[in-house]
Every structure is written in structure tokens, then in C-alpha cells.
Structure 1
Amino acid sequence: MPLTFAFDVYGTLIDTAGITQSLNRLVGDQASLFSSRWRDKQLEYSFRRGLMRDYVDFSVCTRQALKYTSAQLELPISDAAAQTLLDEYRRLPAFPDVPTALEQLKSAGHRLYAFSNGLPDDLEALLDSAGIRHAFIDIISVHEIRTFKPDPAVYRHFLARSSATADNSCLVSSNPFDLLGGMAVSMRTAWIRRSSANHFDPWDRQPDLTLTSLTELQQAFNG
């Protein structure tokens, strides 16, 4: 039976560590640490703003997190360099397993959507640059309802926009907080565990599937 797949974008389809090469030119051997801290703070800001009902779009969270990380690590980045990094955030690469996995699922008749905290225009540019925009029926962004994952309203919005039900949809994400949000509205879930260093939150709930690669999805749902 065909399913409706909700694919998280940042960290699931798109490798946010792809910014590290550019950071290398700015902060040298601190690039990996900087990239990780930046990503963590970006998500923290989205969580906090969601709880506070003080919405700004995800690009603002990204920019403010960059500024904070630069100050925290005492690694100054000029305004011009910061803008270059933010522009490059719209051109990050897809993980190597993504194109094949999406084509397999699409060929099998499943309905694929990109589902993200990002702005619609940013997501269009990002997925197009990564060469995978054509795989998706549409892009569904939290910007449409002005809150962030893992607010349950976001997942209900996805189901309404995609004309899907919780039992015939599957949220695919590398982010445990995202999957827990989907579980809150009874969506099926698949965790893409891209590193053995990643661990699922011990909340007495587990995803329906735990996979190490997106290419395992087709086999999991079609045998």
C-alpha cells in the first residue's frame, strides 16, 4: 500500500556538516566544533521560540545562532563572511544515499514530501541545488503556521496539507526530537541513525523503524 512520506530536510536529507569546508577557511581546526555548536544553538533557538510563541523564521534562528557561536567560541567572523556562510546554507549537499532512496520510493508509488522548519524559498533553493527537488510532490514548511517542530500542530498541519492520515504516513528523520513530535500525533516513524554516536531519547517511546541509511526504507516497506 502506498504511503505518504514526510522527509525532514536538515540533517536527514541534507548534510548540515557540509558547511565545515567553508568554516575551515575561517576558523581552521575549530571548524567541526563550530559547525556542531552552530547547529545545536539553531535548534535550541527554534525550540525556545516555539515554546514562547515568539516566532521568527528559521533563517533568523540560523543567523542568530551563528552570531552566538562566534562569540561563545571567541572566533570572530565578519559580517561579510557571515553572510557568505548563510548563503551557503542554501547550497548544502545531500547525503550520498539520498537520491537513490528517493527514486526507489517514488518508483514504488509512494508519495514524497519535504517537511521542514526552513522557509519555503530556502528549501526550494536547497533541494534544487542538491539535485533532489524533483522527487517531492511538494514542500511543507512550518512557516505556514508560524511555529516549529516538535510542536504537535506542525505534524497535524503536515497531515492536513498532504491529505494523509497518521496511519498511512511515515515521518523520516535523523532527529529524535522530530520523531517524538510525530509520535505525538500517532504518525509512523523511521529514524535514520546516521552515526553510532547518535542516541534516541529515553522517553519510553521508540520509532517504528531504526535504519542506518535511507536506502533501507524501500526494503523495510516493500520487502
Structure 2
Amino acid sequence: MTVTLAFDVYGTLIDTQGLVTMLRGMVGDKAAEFSRTWRERQLEYTFRRALMQNYVPFSACTAQALDHTCALYKTPLGPDQRTALLDAYRTLPAFSDVADGLALLRAAGFRLYAFSNGTAEAVRTLLDAAGVADLFLDIVSTDDLRSFKPNPAVYSHFLRMAGATGAETWLVSSNPFDVIGALSAGWRAAWVKRSPDALFDPWGIPPTATVPDLRHLAAAIAG
């Protein structure tokens, strides 16, 4: 049985905190906290919009979350600064283990897909910038359903697009909500615990495997 791996992109392959240095030149010492809040608000907006069935693309959630964060921290940005940040978000850096980890998994015979809240075009841009786009068989976006993770429908959509079943598919994500969403949909799931301080939600739905980075994933699946 060939195992299919569905990789979350933002926060798993791509570092959503990769603009802290750029932010420091705009908001000073608040940069790290500002960046975390921006990401938290971005995800909150996707959750709310999925529940409300009031869809906008992920990029719109990102921009609206930025505006909210600016207001929250009382750090207004000029139009050029705002545009520069949103443009830079399209080419956020990959984590250092991603290229090597994905290449090892591809060589081991796994079927690799990118599976994201971002549009296929936005994800392609990120993966191209990271130099890893060719390692994936395809990109599956929740944008196809005009919804977001962890709506159960988007996990079913992935299986249809990849020609896979939940029993032979693993979600790979650093986001606990995504891991739990996939497990609830009948998949297996690996949590990439990139920080020793990261916490998993205490819902009684543990990940199938936990790894510190992608280089450990093949062994965790086999074990």
C-alpha cells in the first residue's frame, strides 16, 4: 500500500514568523508579538468564515488580520509598508529541514501533496520560492470548496483529488487544529512539533505520531 502524505503549508513547511525582521523595522520591539498575533487572528478569521459560510480567499483573511493587528497594537502602517508586508507574505521562507525532509520522503516512495488553506496559485508561489515545488505530485486547496480547515468537507475533498483513502493517508501539520481535523475525518496524522514549548490541544484525540521535523517522519510512519 502506497502511503499518501498531505502536507499543510503555512506553519508546517513555511515559517509564518518569517517576517519578524522586516516587522522590526516597522513596529520596533513589538515585532515578534505582533507577528504571532497576526497569525492567530488570520486563523481565527478562517475558522469564523468557514462556520459562517461567508468565504473570502486566505489572502483576504491575511490582509484583514494584519489591519486588525495594527489597530490592536496601535501601530498604523503606511500604504507602502502594508503592501510590502503582504507581498513578502507570498514568499515566506521554508523551515530549514523542509527541502531535505521532503526529498527523503519522496525517495522512500511516499506520495507527496501540498494541502492548504491558501489558493493553489499562492501555494505554488511559496513552494517555488522554497525550491521544493517539484517534489509534490499536486497542490490541493480548500479554496476549491470555498471553505477552510478543519471543515470535514475539505479533508474529503483532498481524498477525492488525490485518489486516496483515509486509511492510507497521513496529514502532516504543525497546527494541532489541523491534525485533530484530519483524525476526526478518519485519517492518520503526524504533528510536527517544531518547538519544545508547543502544546497540543487536550481533547483526547492525540496525533498518530509526533516528530520534531520532517527528517524524522518516515521512521515515525514506519514505526
Scaled by the length of structure 2, what TM-score is found? Answer: 0.98
Is the 2:2–2:109 contact (alpha carbons within 8 Å) kept by the matching residues of 1?
yes
Report how far residue 212 of structure 1 moved. 0.9
Q: Which residue of 2 aligns with 1:68?
A: 68
Write the distance in 2 (CA, Å) between the matches of 1:94 and 1:62: 18
* Aligned residue number for residue 206 of structure 1: 206
Which ranges in structure 1 are unaligned for 5 or more consecutive residues? none
Counterpart contact for 2:12–2:174, Cα < 8 Å: yes
2-structure distance, mates of 1:60, 1:96: 28
Letter in 2 for 1:86: L
Identity of counterpart residues, as a percentage? 51
Retained in 1: the 8 A contact 2:5–2:110?
yes
Q: Which residue is equivalent to 1:132?
A: 132
Work out whether 1:192 is the aligned partner of 2:198: no
Distance 2:191 2:100 in 1: 18
What secondary structure is seen at the aligned counterpart in 2 of 1:207? coil
CA distance in 1, matches of 2:171, 2:77: 36
Q: Distance in 2 between matches of 1:66 and 1:221?
A: 37
2:152–2:185 Cα contact (<8 Å) kept: yes
Q: Which stretches of structure 1, 4 residues or more, deviate above 3 A after TM superposition?
A: none
RMSD: 0.9
Q: CA deviation at 1:97?
A: 0.7
Deviation at 1:138, TM superposition (A): 0.5
Q: Distance in 2 between matches of 1:91 and 1:128?
A: 9
**Aligned with 1:114: secondary structure?**
strand
Report matched runs for 1:50-199 at 5 Å: 50-199=50-199
In the alignment, the residues of structure 2 paired with residue 222 and residue 167 of structure 1 have an alpha-carbon distance, to the nearest angstrom, of 14
SS at match of 2:115: strand
Partner residue, 1:22:
22
- C-alpha separation between the residues in 2 aligned to 1:73 and 1:90? 23
Distance 2:36 2:168 in 1: 34
Q: CA deviation at 1:2?
A: 2.5
Correspondence for 2:43? 43
CA distance in structure 2 between the aligned counterparts of 1:166 and 1:213, rounded to whole angstroms: 23
Helix, strand or coil for the counterpart of 2:59?
A: helix
Q: Which amino acid aligns with 2:110?
A: H
Provide the rounded CA distance (Å) in 1 between the counterparts of 2:222 and 2:134.
Answer: 22
Partner Cα distance (2:208, 2:63) in 1: 34
TM-score, length-normalised on structure 1?
Answer: 0.98
**How far, CA to CA, are the matches of 1:90 and 1:126 in structure 2?**
6
Q: C-alpha separation between the residues in 2 aligned to 1:178 and 1:142? A: 12
Instruction: Give the whole-Å Cα distance in 2 for the aligned partners of 1:68 and 1:201.
Output: 26
Q: Deviation digits for residues 114-156 of structure 1, max 9, x if unmatched?
A: 0000011111111100111111000100000100000000100
